[in-house]
Structure 1
Amino acid sequence: MSITQQYLLDTYRAQQHGEAAPPAPGTHDWRLAREMRGYRQFLAVVAGRPAHGRIREALARWLHGRPHVGC
């Protein structure tokens, strides 16, 4: 069963029971992505690593063999 078919079935069942329809697939994707980013930053801070710029720093070390000095 595809996501669309499951959504339509859930919507039909909610309508039959007089309940609110579930959110459409993909409605909260950006919200979830922001929350996951915030959680990864939180874990980095708790582990004692910088929360921002880690990818750029790693790429600079890999490309130039030294840390990137910048903003």
Structure 2
Amino acid sequence: MNALHQHLLDSYRAARHAEPAPPLPGTHDLAVLRSARDHRRFEAVLAGRPAAGRLRLALRRLRPGTC
């Protein structure tokens, strides 16, 4: 069963029970990704690490011939 089938089934059940329909699949994906990013940054600050630019800094360390 894919996401569309599940959504149709949930919509049918909600209609049978006079409840509001669930949101469409993928509606809140960006909000979830932003929340996860913010949480990672918050944890980095609490641990005393830089909150931004960590990937670029790590790649710079791996590149030979740079300090």
Q: Which residue of 1 aligns with 2:48?
A: 48
Q: Which residue of 2 aligns with 1:69?
A: none
Q: Which residue of 1 aligns with 2:36?
A: 36
The equivalences for 1:1-71 within 5 A come to 1-63=1-63, 64-66=65-67
How big is the shift at 1:42? Answer: 0.6
List gaps (5 residues or longer) in structure 2.
none
Question: What TM-score does the superposition give when structure 2 sets the normalisation length?
Answer: 0.92
Distance 2:21 2:45 in 1: 39
- Report the 3-state secondary structure (helix = DSSP H, G, I; strand = E; otherwise coil) of the residue aligned with 1:35: helix
Number of residues of Structure 1 aligned to a counterpart in Structure 2: 66
Percent identity of paired positions between Structure 1 and Structure 2: 53
- Report the 3-state secondary structure (helix = DSSP H, G, I; strand = E; otherwise coil) of the residue aligned with 2:9: helix
One-letter amino acid of the structure 1 residue matched with residue 7 of structure 2: Y
How big is the shift at 1:3? Answer: 1.3
Q: Structure 1 residue runs of 4+, over 3 Å off?
A: none
List gaps (5 residues or longer) in structure 1.
67-71
Distance 2:56 2:6 in 1: 41
Q: CA RMSD in A?
A: 1.0
